[in-house]
Amino acid sequence: MTRALTIAAAVASLALTAGCGQPTFSQAQTLGGVSIDARTLNRGEELYVLNCYACHGMEGDGNGPAAPGLRPPPRNFKQGFYKFAVTIDEEDEGNTLPRDEDLLRIIKGGLHGTPMWPWDLQDSEIVKIIHYLKTFSPRWTKNTPGKAVELGEDPWKGKEAEGRTEGKRVYHAVARCWSCHPSYATKDEFFKYTNNPPENDARNDFYSAELKNSGAMLALEGGKEREVKVLPPDFLMQPVRSIYEVSDVYRVVATGVGGAAMPGFPLGPKDGWALAHYVWELIEKEGTKAGVDAKTALTSQPEWKPPAPPPPPQVPLFNPDGTPQLNPDGTPVTGAAPAPAADPAAAGIAAPPAAPGAPSTTTPAAAPAAAPAPSLAHR
């Protein structure tokens, strides 16, 4: 509430001064490879001052009057560095300039769980602000935006449930998203997907997230800087920033999150869309009882025990005299193969009769009775 008031007051005082005096721009500028006329930029500046400056600052440096104490800090547009509005570019290592559509989507949708609200302005107004934002950073005069993520056709359309099952496998076994985000598989499933005993994994506590450096620097007092750390969200428990529908998951996975926080995963449509459906289902549970229940079920599992070794192969059993052991109905008696003998030459399994007198596990009397393991013959 107090914060909202501070912002409102700051906006009001600036709104009075904005628009007075000389317009800032008198000629067109080339931004991101496109020429933007002065009128658009001047209108963008006005709208910026009305709506955005309180947090992002007059200089676009993220130090507006309402910024102190905001976490995460408002973006510094002078760096020309974006986290969620990102594009694909082979050369620029995940730090490409966004397209206007990407910025528009994010400014309209807001960044959930942060002070960056959804903005209910007309698209044409937001686009003018977007052009103005670009004047803060020299990156926009030098570079052009990267490529859009091609969403293509969703191969799981109409069979989303199948997609989610496959997505769970991709999440755990292929892309290993749990190396930063939590895992959402039971300990048994985790073992099945990764072939890694859960207790042995490098990530000791894989039901919680690992704090990561974001690559973004936060200016501190006295000219010092500190790298902003970010926690990869636990999709069941924390809001995601820029995900408004399932295709946004596909996009974020393809591009990654700008900076060092999360790399892009070029998974292609089949795995990529399966993963998107799976993660979207988790995201939809965030803030609900179903989400809390799912999380509780995962974190309250008993200690993991390796699965029981497979039962020993069943082989026909023989009497010491070499004749097959038979059940009363005449079918052969089967049982676990005798343990290999110390002498490797005698280690052949199910070798018919052991030499008479040799120690035998197959004493005629004991075998049929002492065969608790289900034998094939009894099925």
Residues at the contact surface with ligand HEC, assessed by CB under 6 A: 7, 51-52, 54-56, 66, 70, 72, 74-75, 82-85, 103, 106-107, 111, 114-116, 119, 129, 175, 177, 179-181, 212, 214, 230, 232-233, 240-243, 249, 252-253, 257, 261-262, 265, 275, 279
Instruction: Report how far apart the first and last C-alpha atoms of the chain are (Å, whole number).
Output: 72
What is the spatial distance between Cα 197 and Cα 296, in angstroms, rounded to a whole number?
Answer: 21
Instruction: Provide, rounded to whole angstroms, the least separation between the CB of residue 102 and ligand HEC.
Output: 7
The residue type at 173 = A
Q: Which is nearer to ligand HEC, 95 or 375 (CB)?
A: 95
Instruction: Provide, rounded to whole angstroms, the least separation between the CB of residue 212 and ligand HEC.
Output: 4
Q: Show the beta-strand stretches assigned E in the chain.
A: 29-31, 34-36, 212-219, 225-230, 314-316, 334-336
Instruction: Provide, rounded to whole angstroms, the least separation between the CB of residue 194 and ligand HEC.
Output: 14
Q: Which is nearer to ligand HEC, 259 or 338 (CB)?
A: 259
What is the spatial distance between Cα 23 and Cα 135, in angstroms, rounded to a whole number?
Answer: 14
Instruction: Provide, rounded to whole angstroms, the least separation between the CB of residue 276 and ligand HEC.
Output: 8
Instruction: Provide, rounded to whole angstroms, the least separation between the CB of residue 231 and ligand HEC.
Output: 7
Question: Of the candidates 317, 327, 245, which has an alpha carbon nearest to the alpha carbon of residue 279?
Answer: 245
Q: Which residues contact 48 (CB under 8 A, 6 or more apart)?
A: 56, 129, 132, 133
Q: Show the beta-strand stretches assigned E in 112-255.
A: 212-219, 225-230
What is the spatial distance between Cα 296 and Cα 324, in angstroms, rounded to a whole number?
Answer: 55
Q: Which is nearer to ligand HEC, 120 or 329 (CB)?
A: 120
Q: Which is nearer to ligand HEC, 285 or 354 (CB)?
A: 285
Q: How many residues does the chain have?
A: 379
Q: Which is nearer to ligand HEC, 7 or 371 (CB)?
A: 7
